[in-house]
Amino acid sequence: MARANARRGGRGGSRKAPEAESTEAPAVQMPYGANFQRQDLRRRKNTSASKGGKQSSKKLNQMYGKDGRLKRKYSNGPEEITGAPVTRRQDRQQRHQHQQIAALSRSSLLKIKTKNEPMSFSSAMTPELLATLQEGDEVADARPPDLEAGDEQEPTTGLAEVLQKVFGHESFRPGQQEAMESVLNKQKTLLLLATGSGKSLCYQLPAYLLREEGLTLVVSPLVSLMSDQLARLPKCLRGAVCSGQQSRDQVREVMRAVRARMVDVLFVSPERLAMWSFDGCGLPPIALACIDEAHCVSEWSHNFRPDYLRLSEYLQGALQARRLLALTATATKPTVQSVCDILQLERVVRSDRSFSVPELLAEKAQIRVQRANLAMDIRNVPDVDLQLREIIKVLRTEVNPTDSIIIYVWRRVTADQLAKQLRPYVKGGISAYHGSMLPEARSAVQGNFMGGKIRVVVATVAFGMGLDKPDIRMVLHYGLPKSIENYIQETGRCARDGLPGKCIALVCPKDYQAMRWLESGGHGGGTKSSVVRTLLRALLGNSDTYPRHALSKEALVVAGGRPEDFEEGGFQPYCVALDEKLASRELNASTDELHSVLAHLSRYAVGSVSVLSNFPTKLKLRFFKSDPQELIAIDPLLRQVLPLAKKVGPVYTLDTAKAVAVMGGTAGQLSTGLWQARGDEFSVEKAEYGYMVAVLRSVSEAEVDDWAEQISSINVRARASAVEKLDACFLALTRSAEARERQKVAEPDATESAADVTMNGLIDAYFSATEEPSAVVSGGTEERRRRLSAALGAEYHLASQARPLAQRPSAAFPSARGSGGAASSAAAPSERQRVTEGLVRATVARLLMDPDWPELPCSELDALVTCVAQFLAGVGSVVLPTLKWREHRFWGHFRNFGDFQHLEEHVHAAVEKCLPMVQKHKRQKTA
């Protein structure tokens, strides 16, 4: 295929359209790949830029000259962001600067270079090597050699010899050799090693040995983590990263190098892998697939990622990886069992020895989880003022003025405020770091911290994953960690050089109350069976909620169906494009919850449903110079695409699902073909990302109800598990702080810290438990209830006696005075409960009849109850965000209720009683 060379051809001159061979392009069913004929992009006579359209289109056209090129004043972006903002004015300036850069890179047909572009290749990929890359998408037969002609390479045999001669290490650390041998023997392996214990070497050395066989693919959850891993890759391995922060040209260069077999180790996100598994991106053979932070696979872990749930389907199914290695530092035994079940793993390797999965679950002995060079100190502080005084005292008296320190907080606003408050007390620089900062500002903070320009970083959990700074001497938790697993991960960033490090946690009951309130109330419709059932019926049942596009026989086979399922006159397979933002509003479920529901559906409905995530539901073609009708005459792909698109001015908007259903092939083939076709004549923009669900066979209503029940019960248990993990962390830290206080009185001269001993014991017990790890650290059921009641108040005691949320009927929750539940049947409601019910009912009625209360897009009763309960609790939701509604008089009216689950029960009973009256009032008012 001849590549367009308008840039090489210059601006002058004209050229006639290709003759017969172009105008008489063969008619093909799927004009993708080799069937695509590239258009001639040189400027033709008597053609001009398209005009008209919406205001945004006109503004965009103003940026380009008559030759279709970006005007000079727009060709260079603003100055790069090199530091974190300190004032609100600086933050506004940075955000405006970021918007300018992003707008130019989106709209420009030319590559705009920036100083802080993310690195794409490791140091072993030299410019001389990259210069040998050729155009084309064919996969090379063999890996190019490392050495120049005439050089000789000494053969190495055995893992120990490779470790010493190639990687420069004297010996293996505990667990490393066992993991490598298991992987090389093609056993699907889970590696459990503490943070900073050398997990990366366990895929780097096998990647070196397997580099002639194929590619090593490493799946990581964060772009920053991938960048750090790429920077630390040894010189003997050629590495690359493919992420969403790269430009299109960078991604194309990386993929050309991958297909040329120049890359030994490729780092990708699970979201990128999801796209590759469907579009046939032409990867070379995958010798080894690694899943970093593998605990993200399990719903019972402390940070579950829906995209991780389908990694086995992608890696072992679509991409046919020959070996599989999963790595994590923090996983309880229930999480280990879940990860091994989902990924179909056979062996588990710890630092002491190798196990089969049943052997590990039956193993009672637990090795020490926390590293021995870390000293833990836990302190109880009753309020926020004392928290601030205590942290100032620590910074003044307990650390060296030159030490590097990370201070963890749990809210973004706290990070900014605390950094400002501590600035007078810190020499060497202090800065905040959180997810709301611009990517350039976050990169600047991390770079300055790694380079020693900043000594202290006040950060949320977004900071530190993969951070390889060995001389951090202290990790200080100003706020409570969300779980013991989070605590291990965050403290594990301290003292990786093996020297002593100190980890201090300040435990404040008010912090715990607020965190538990948000954790228990932050979920939306994704946990409600009726809401999940509504979504599944809209996708799979007899519903016209979302437009459906019938699949041709060829498209059905590509989507994973069988030709015999295509019945003339019977069920017609179809596909549905689902806009994630619209669907999340309709169901009051976050996009993560929505993705979790569809990821679970793809597991339960194998053979019936195919789900494609990160799917651009719209493709927008913007024409700059030639009349599109001229291009149709010479381009077979555009000839089929444009009649399916909706035209507004110079922009043709294509419904991707409709095009795939009509033309056949996959969405990846369609978008790839258009990307290869774009140039000076037109551009392609992906928009309105969501999901494409292909329904391959008729699904009964009973199947839909069964899947909805299973999916919602999993999500309910996962949410309950998150709250239990927070409870366990609070109990463990509180008990350790109490041991410290007792030691100060009884043994003031003791050399061994009671807090450190107690915390280590509780952590090891937590990770060795096979069921309900959170119950182990509490010291018994009654002790747990006593401690949590003291922290949360009397309402927690009432709610804790109610039946667990996962055991309730799916259609509706029982009211506090209903017959369901042990507490209501054992005793009549107390006077306090009756007063509470009346107060909640009156508030709910006034809220629903308030003229400012909006018409919610979610019509399900459970979704309405959740919206109202979150509103009264002061918790933002998808349909009622905090920034818009926090000034309403009823916002947060019951934020001190004590337990969100208990409040939700009262709200459900109130809505059921008030809703008919509210609807009648609205009808009368309308009439």
CA distance 536 to 320: 30
Helix, coil or strand: residue 747: coil
- What sign does the CA torsion over 867, 871, 877, 883 have? positive
pLDDT computed for residue 74 by the predictor: 57
- At 5, the pLDDT band (50, 70, 90 cuts) reads very low
- Rounded mean pLDDT of 729-757? 93
Type of residue numbered 331: A
Q: Which two tokens stand for residue 30?
A: 């799927």
Distance CA 656, CA 828 (A): 58
Q: What is the pLDDT of residues 754-799, one digit of tens each?
A: 999 999 999 999 998 887 777 788 877 788 888 888 888 766 665 5
Secondary structure element (H or E) that encloses residue 669, with its range: helix 667-677
What was the pLDDT predicted at 13? 37
pLDDT (0 to 100) of residue 52: 41
Give pLDDT, residue 116: 55
Amino acid 75: pLDDT: 56
Question: For 789-827, what is each residue's pLDDT tens digit?
Answer: 888 876 666 555 544 433 333 333 333 333 333 333 334
Q: Do 431 and 458 form a contact (C-beta atoms < 8 A)?
A: yes
- Report the candidate in 257, 295, 291 with the shortest Cα–Cα distance to residue 273: 291
Across the chain, which distance is largest between two alpha carbons, in Å? 97
Placement of tokens 């029960």 in the chain: 905
Predicted confidence at residue 805, as pLDDT, reads: 37
Q: What mean pLDDT is predicted for residues 303-314?
A: 84
Task: Write the pLDDT tens digit of every residue in 236-292.
Answer: 999 999 987 777 778 888 988 999 999 999 999 887 887 676 555 678 999 999 999
**Residue 212 near residue 348, CB atoms below 8 Å:** no
Range 625-649 average pLDDT: 85
pLDDT (mean) for 872-889:
91
Least confident segment among 75-84, 485-494, 682-691: 75-84
Average pLDDT of the residues in 135-142: 79
- 872, 907 contact by CB (below 8 A): yes
> Residue 220 and residue 271: Cα distance in Å, rounded?
10
CB 288 within 8 A of CB 183: yes
* Of residues 558 and 674, more confidently modeled: 674
Q: ∠ at Cα 793 (790, 796), nearest 5°?
A: 100
Residue with tokens 């214990």: 197
With respect to CATH, is domain 127-140+158-362 assigned 3.40.50.300? yes
The whole-number average pLDDT for the span 536-561 is 80
Tokens of 636: 């077979």
pLDDT digits 0-9 by tens, 88-97: 777 777 777 7
What integer pLDDT is reported at residue 466 of this predicted model? 64
Distance of CA 304 to the CA centre of its chain: 9
Mean pLDDT, to the nearest integer, of 533-549? Answer: 87
Count Cβ atoms below 10 Å from residue 146 Cβ, excluding itself. 14
What is the mean pLDDT of the segment spanning 574-590?
85
Fold entry, domain 374-520+717-782: Rossmann fold (3.40.50)
Mean pLDDT of the chain: 80
- Domain residue spans of the chain: 127-140+158-362, 374-520+717-782, 810-926
State the pLDDT at residue 64.
Answer: 62
Number of other residues whose CB lies within 10 A of the CB of residue 678 = 18
| More confident of the two residues 380 and 313 | 380
Query: What is the reported pLDDT for 462?
Result: 80
* Full strand arrangement of the beta sheet holding 265-268: 239-242, 265-268, 215-219, 286-291, 324-328, 189-192, 347-349, 354-356
pLDDT score for 793: 75
Look at residues 900, 888, 896, 907 and name the one whose alpha carbon lies nearest to residue 839.
Answer: 907
The gap between the terminal CA atoms of the chain, to the nearest Å, is 67
Q: Is the predicted pLDDT of residue 100 greater than 80, yes or no?
A: no
- Kindly tell me if the per-residue pLDDT of 47 is higher than 80: no
Tell me whether domains 127-140+158-362 and 374-520+717-782 share a fold. Answer: yes
**What's the pLDDT score for residue 791?**
85
Sign of the torsion formed by the C-alpha atoms of 224, 226, 227 and 233: positive
Nearest-CA neighbor of 376 among 660, 802, 762, 811?
Answer: 762
- Which one-letter amino acid corresponds to residue 789? S
Residues in the chain: 927
779: left (phi over 0), alpha (psi -120 to 50) or beta: left
Q: What is the pLDDT of residue 541?
A: 86
Give pLDDT, residue 732.
Answer: 95
Which range of 203-217, 552-566, 655-669 scores highest in mean pLDDT? It is: 203-217
With residues binned 3-state (H G I as helix, E B as strand, rest as coil), the percentages for the chain, rounded to 5, are 45, 15, 40
Alpha carbon distances (Å) from 221 to 224, 296, 303, 510, 578: 9, 8, 10, 31, 24
C-alpha neighbours within 13 Å on the C-beta side of residue 600? 25
Q: Could you tell me which of 491, 550, 896, 505 has the C-alpha nearest to residue 696? A: 550
Model confidence at 843, in pLDDT bands (50, 70, 90)?
very high
Query: What 3 state SS string does 382-427 have?
Result: CCHHHHHHHHHHHHHHCCCCCCEEEEECCCHHHHHHHHHHHHHHCC
% pLDDT > 90, the chain: 33
